C-alpha cells in the first residue's frame, strides 16, 4: 500500500472513487483479477456502514435492547428484573471503540494484503474536459468505478438550517441525552433511532407523512406502529411541514395542518442523498436521476462507456451488502470485460426494530401490479410455538404466492428474531418453491423459522388444528 498518485507503468487499470464498502469491494475484486488499482478516498476510510451506519447503530440497538428486555422479564411468572442506564457517554464510547476496531480490521489492515492496490487520499472529480483528477491534478486511469456513497437528506423546510438539527450520523455521537426528541421520518432509519432513544429514556415523538415503514406490507406497518406506541413512542402523521424554528431551549416543528410539536432536539431521518453533486459528472457525460443517483444500466455502466458506478451513489438498494455486490459486478465488467447483470429480485432486507422486520421478494401490491393472481397467508406470531414459549407473541408472518401455480412470490416477517429467518424465505423463492413444498419442509421445532412452515401451511390449513410438529 502507498499514498502515491501514478504508478511507474503509467495509467492505472482501474480507479475506484470512494473508500467505503462498495469501493473496497470493487478494488479487491479488480486486484484479484490482476488489475492495478487506485482506491481514492476523501475522509475517514471505511465509508458509511462501519463508521456512522450499520455498525454503530446496531451496537446501540443491542445495548438498549438489554434495558428493554430486562424490564420486560416480568412477563414470566416468578421473575422480577430491571435495568437502568447509568452512563450514556460510556455506552457511546464503547460503541465507538467497536467502530474503530472494525474499521482497522476490515478496511485499513485489509489493504496491506493487496500489493496491487494503491490507497490514494484526495478528492476526485472530473475536470471540464471530462478527465479524472485528484486534488486538481490529472489522474490517468483506463477504467473508473464511482462508489462515493450517500449522506443524510436535509428536507427543504423553512428554518431547518437555523435549529441545529441532528441526523443519523450526529445522533449516534450524542453523549448527553435530551429529555424530548422529535424524529422526522418513520422509515427504517427513523424507526431504529426512535426506539434506541426511547429505550434510553428519551420521550420520543415520531413524525411522518406516510406512517411507519410505508414500504412494508400494511399488516406489518400497522402492527409495528402499535408496538412502538406501547413503548411510549408518540406517533404523529402530518400532511406536510410548514416550518421549524428555535423557541428558547426547544425546537418547534409546525405542520401544514397547523399542528405543532416541540422538543429539545430534532433528528432528521428523511432518507439519504447520493454523493454525486461534487464530481462534475456532466463533463464526463454521466447522467443522474432526479435525486442525484448516478444512472447505470444492468451491468452497472454509466452513459460514459469507461465509467461504472455502484452502491448508494446510484440511489438504489441502500444496503451495504448490495453495495458490495454491485461493486463486484462493476469491477468484473470493467477490468475483465465481463457482462454480469445486477439482479435484486430476491434481495433480502432487514429493519432492526424490535420486533425486527424482514422481507424478500414481492409484496402483495407488487405481485398484483406485476399481473399475478395473488393469494396470501398471514400468520400471527401467537400461532408459532417459539413465540409462545418466549412469552413474546409480537408480530406476524405474511407470505405472497401466485394462486394458480402456488409458487411463492414474497415474504415479510415481523418478529423479535425475524431477521435470522428471512434468508430461509429467500432460498425458498430462489428455488422456486410452492407454498405446499415450503409447508412440507422439515424445520426444527421451537424456532422462529418454523413460523415460515406454519405460514405456508396456513394457505390451505387451519394450523390451530394441528398438534406440535404435525404436518
pTM: 0.95
Q: Which residues pair with 292 in a beta bridge?
A: none
Binding residues for FAD: 58, 148-150, 312
Phi, psi dihedrals of residue 43, rounded to the nearest 5°: 110, -165
DSSP letter for each residue of 38-73: EEEE-SSTTHHHHHHSHHHHHHHHHHHHHHHHHHGG
Environment class of residue 123 by beta-carbon count within 10 Å: exposed (0-12), middle (13-18) or buried (19+)? middle
C-alpha cell belonging to residue 198: 426511547
**C-alpha distance from residue 77 to each of 141, 336, 367, 394 (Å):** 67, 63, 44, 18
What angle, 0 to 180 degrees and rounded to 10, lies between the N-to-C axes of helices 422-430 and 450-457?
Answer: 50
Give pLDDT, residue 3.
42
Of how many residues is the chain composed? 471
Domain ranges of the chain: 12-50+92-152+273-336, 160-270, 349-462
Query: Beta strand pairing status for 117-121 and 124-126?
Result: unpaired
Looking at domain 12-50+92-152+273-336, which of 3.30.1510.10, 3.50.50.60, 2.102.10.10, 3.10.20.90 is its CATH number? Answer: 3.50.50.60
User: What does the DSSP 8-state code read for residue 23?
Assistant: H
C-alpha cell belonging to residue 356: 425486527
Q: How far, in Å, CA of 7 to CA of 373, rounded? A: 58
Q: How far apart, in Å, do the first and last CA atoms of the chain sit?
A: 58
Phi, psi dihedrals of residue 224, rounded to the nearest 5°: -65, -40
**Continuous segment of H or E residues that includes residue 436:** helix 435-439
User: What does the DSSP 8-state code read for residue 304?
Assistant: S
Closest by CA position to 382, among listed 350, 409, 416 = 416
CATH code assigned to 349-462:
3.30.390.30
Give pLDDT, residue 468.
72
Write b or e for each residue in 269-305: b if 16 or more Cβ atoms lie within 10 A of its Cβ, otherwise e: bbebbbbbeebebeebebebeeeebbebeebbbbebe
Q: Answer whether CATH 3.90.180.10 is correct for domain 160-270.
A: no
Binding residues for NAD(+): 185-192, 271
Q: How far, in Å, CA of 398 to CA of 202, rounded? A: 32
Indicate if 349-462 has the same CATH topology as 12-50+92-152+273-336: no
Binding residues: 58, 148-150, 185-192, 271, 312
Tens-binned pLDDT, residue by residue, of the chain (471 aa): 344 455 656 899 999 999 999 999 999 999 999 999 999 999 899 999 999 999 999 999 999 999 999 999 999 999 999 999 999 999 999 999 999 999 999 999 999 999 999 999 999 999 999 999 999 999 999 999 999 999 999 999 999 999 999 999 999 999 999 999 999 999 999 999 999 999 999 999 999 999 999 999 999 999 999 999 999 999 999 999 999 999 889 999 999 999 999 999 999 999 999 999 999 999 999 999 999 999 999 999 999 999 999 999 999 999 999 999 999 999 999 999 999 999 999 999 999 999 999 999 999 999 999 999 999 999 999 999 999 999 999 999 999 999 999 999 999 999 999 999 999 999 999 999 999 999 999 999 999 999 999 999 999 999 887 777 655
Alpha helices in 231-342 (DSSP H): 320-336
Give pLDDT, residue 6.
59
Amino acid at each position: 500500500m502507498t499514498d502515491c498518485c501514478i504508478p511507474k507503468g503509467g495509467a492505472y487499470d482501474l480507479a475506484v472513487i470512494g473508500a467505503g464498502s462498495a469501493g473496497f469491494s470493487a478494488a479487491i475484486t479488480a486486484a484479484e483479477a490482476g488489475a492495478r488499482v487506485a482506491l481514492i478516498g476523501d475522509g475517514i476510510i471505511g465509508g458509511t456502514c462501519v463508521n456512522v451506519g450499520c455498525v454503530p447503530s446496531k451496537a446501540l440497538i443491542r445495548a438498549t435492547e438489554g434495558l428493554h428486555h430486562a424490564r420486560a422479564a416480568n412477563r414470566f411468572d416468578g421473575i422480577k428484573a430491571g435495568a437502568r442506564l447509568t452512563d450514556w457517554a460510556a455506552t457511546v464510547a464503547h460503541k465507538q471503540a467497536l467502530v474503530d476496531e472494525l474499521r482497522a480490521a476490515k478496511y485499513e489492515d485489509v489493504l496491506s494484503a493487496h500489493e496491487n492496490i494503491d490507497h490514494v487520499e484526495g478528492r476526485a472529480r472530473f475536470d471540464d474536459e471530462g478527465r479524472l483528477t485528484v486534488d486538481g491534478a490529472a489522474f490517468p486511469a483506463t477504467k473508473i468505478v464511482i462508489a462515493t456513497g450517500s449522506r443524510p437528506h436535509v428536507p427543504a423546510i423553512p428554518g431547518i438550517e437555523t435549529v441545529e438539527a441532528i441526523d443519523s450520523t450526529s445522533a449516534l455521537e450524542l453523549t448527553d441525552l435530551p429529555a424530548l426528541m422529535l424524529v422526522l421520518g418513520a422509515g427504517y432509519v427513523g424507526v431504529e433511532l426512535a426506539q434506541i432513544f426511547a429505550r434510553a429514556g428519551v420521550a420520543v415523538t415520531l413524525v411522518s407523512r406516510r406512517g411507519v415503514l410505508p414500504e412494508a406490507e400494511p399488516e406489518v406497518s400497522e402492527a409495528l406502529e402499535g408496538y412502538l406506541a406501547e413503548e411510549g413512542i408518540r406517533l404523529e402523521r402530518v400532511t406536510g411541514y410548514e416550518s421549524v424554528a428555535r423557541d428558547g431551549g426547544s425546537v418547534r416543528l409546525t405542520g401544514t395542518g397547523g399542528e405543532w410539536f416541540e422538543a429539545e432536539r430534532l433528528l432528521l431521518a428523511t432518507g439519504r442523498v447520493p454523493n454525486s453533486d461534487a464530481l462534475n459528472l456532466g463533463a464526463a457525460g454521466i447522467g443522474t436521476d432526479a435525486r442525484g443517483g448516478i444512472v447505470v444500466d444492468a451491468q452497472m455502466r454509466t452513459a460514459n462507456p469507461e465509467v461504472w458506478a455502484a452502491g448508494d451513489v446510484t440511489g438504489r438498494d441502500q444496503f451495504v451488502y448490495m453495495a458490495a455486490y454491485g461493486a463486484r459486478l462493476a469491477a468484473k465488467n470493467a477490468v475483465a470485460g465481463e457482462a454480469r447483470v445486477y439482479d435484486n429480485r430476491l434481495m433480502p432486507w432487514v429493519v432492526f426494530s424490535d420486533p425486527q422486520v424482514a422481507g424478500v421478494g414481492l409484496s402483495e401490491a407488487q405481485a398484483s401490479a406485476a399481473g399475478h393472481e395473488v393469494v396470501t397467508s398471514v400468520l400471527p406470531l401467537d400461532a408459532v410455538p417459539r413465540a409462545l414459549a418466549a412469552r413474546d407473541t409480537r408480530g406476524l408472518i405474511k407470505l405472497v404466492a401466485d394462486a394458480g401455480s402456488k409458487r411463492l412470490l414474497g415474504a415479510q416477517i415481523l418478529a423479535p428474531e425475524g431477521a435470522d429467518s428471512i434468508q430461509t424465505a429467500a432460498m425458498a423463492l430462489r428455488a422456486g418453491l410452492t407454498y405446499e413444498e415450503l409447508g412440507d419442509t422439515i424445520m426444527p421445532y421451537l424456532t422462529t423459522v418454523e413460523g415460515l412452515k406454519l405460514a405456508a401451511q396456513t394457505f390451505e390449513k387451519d394450523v390451530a388444528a394441528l398438534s406440535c410438529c404435525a404436518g
